[in-house]
Amino acid sequence: MDAGRINGVLFLDLCKAFDTVDHVILIKKLSNYGIQDKALECFKSYLSNREQYCK
């Protein structure tokens, strides 16, 4: 921190981030925004057949 570098912290609360979003619509919108190939496949994989739990 003394070397003049900038530090930052990002906190995200993802507990309710995906439970109200239709995943098919989200993938279509990402595709419409130009997300394609490997990146789109990563999103599809992440959103398919997954369960998320928050404490």
DSSP assigned state of 1: -
Q: What is the pTM of this model?
A: 0.54
pLDDT at 53 > cutoff 80? no
pLDDT digits (tens, 9 = 90+) for 9-52: 878 677 776 667 788 898 999 999 998 999 999 889 888 877 66
Query: Regarding predicted confidence, which is higher, 17 or 3?
Result: 3
Q: Which two tokens stand for residue 45?
A: 């994989």
Q: Which two tokens stand for residue 44?
A: 């599809």
